[in-house]
A = this chain, B = another copy of it.
Amino acid sequence: MDMITSTSETRGGEGKSEGKREGLDPDRLLPTSEPELSIARELYESVKDDPIISPHAHVPVEWYAQDRHFASPTELFITPDHYVTRLLHACGIPLSALGVGQKHLTSEQARNAFVLMGKHWIAFAGTPMRYWFEDSLQRVFGITTPFGPKTAGKIYDQLSEMLPLPEYSTRALALRFNMAAVSTTDDPVENLDAHDQINRDLKLPYIVMPAFRPDSYLEPARADWPDRARALGAAAGVDTSTYDGFCEAMRVRRRYFKEHGAVLSDHSHFDIAMQHLSEKKVRELYAQAYRGIISSGDAVLLRRHLLFDQATFAQEDHLTMTVHPSVYRDYDPRIRAIYGHDAGGDVPARADFTRALKPMLNAYGNNPDFHFVAFTIDETVFSRELAPLAGFYPAMYIGAPWWFLDGPESIDRYFHAVVPYAGFTKLSGFIDDTRALCSIPSRHDMNRRVTAGYIAGLVAQHRISMEDALELIKFEVDTLPRHVFKISHLKKDIKK
Which residues of A pack against B, CB within 8 Å? 24-25, 27-30, 32-36, 86-87, 89-92, 120, 122-128, 130-131, 146, 328, 331-335, 344-345, 347-350, 352, 354, 358, 361-362, 365-366, 368, 377-380, 383-385, 387-394, 396, 404-405, 407-410, 413, 415-417, 419-426, 457-458, 460-465, 468, 471-472, 475
Contacts and interface: CB of A to CB of B under 8 A. Distances in A.
Given A28-B462, A87-B391, A126-B458, A366 B334 contact: yes
Interchain residue pairs A-B with the least CB separation, the first 10 = A25-B462, A92-B368, A28-B462, A407-B420, A32-B460, A126-B419, A123-B425, A123-B423, A347-B388, A92-B394
A496 to B, nearest CB: 31
B404 A388 contact: yes
A321 B345 CA distance: 22
B464 A126 contact: yes
A463 B29 contact: yes
B29 A388 contact: no
Given A32-B461, A348-B384, 6 more contacts: A125-B424, A125-B468, A130-B464, A333-B362, A348-B354, A409-B417
Contacts of A460: 32
Given A347-B354, A409-B420, A419-B126, A463 B28 contact: yes
A465 B146 contact: yes
B388 A126 contact: no
B379 A383 contact: yes
29 contacts: A29-B461, A32-B36, A90-B393, A90-B394, A90-B422, A90-B423, A90-B426, A91-B426, A120-B425, A122-B471, A122-B475, A124-B423, A125-B419, A125-B472, A126-B423, A126-B424, A126-B458, A127-B421, A127-B423, A130-B463, A332-B361, A334-B362, A345-B392, A348-B384, A377-B384, A380-B384, A383-B410, A407-B421, A408-B420
Nearest to A361: B332
A368 B123 CA distance: 15
Contact of A420 (B33, B91, B126, B389): B126
Contacts of A416: 409, 413
B122 A385 contact: no
A408 to B, nearest CB: 8
A173 B468 CA distance: 31
Contact of A462 (B24, B365, B457): B24
A404 B421 contact: yes
Given A383-B410, A391-B90, A392-B89, A125 B423 contact: yes
A348 B385 contact: yes
Q: How many copies does the complex hold?
A: 3
A284 to B, nearest CB: 27
Given A28-B461, A349-B354, A122 B404 contact: no
Contacts of A25: 462
Contact of A394 (B91, B122, B462): B91
Contacts of A385: 347-348
A415 B87 CA distance: 17
A393 B405 CA distance: 19
A389 to B, nearest CB: 6
A392 B32 contact: no
A405 B392 contact: no
Contacts of A128: 420
Nearest to A377: B384
Contacts of A392: 86, 89-90, 332, 344-345, 347
A79 to B, nearest CB: 16
A384 B388 contact: no
Nearest to A347: B388
A35 B460 CA distance: 15
Given A123-B424, A125-B423, A125-B424, A348 B28 contact: no
A405 B388 contact: no
A457 B29 CA distance: 10
Contacts of A458: 125-126
B391 A86 contact: yes
Contacts of A457: 32
Contacts of A34: 33
Contact of A350 (B365, B384, B393, B408): B384
A125 B425 CA distance: 9
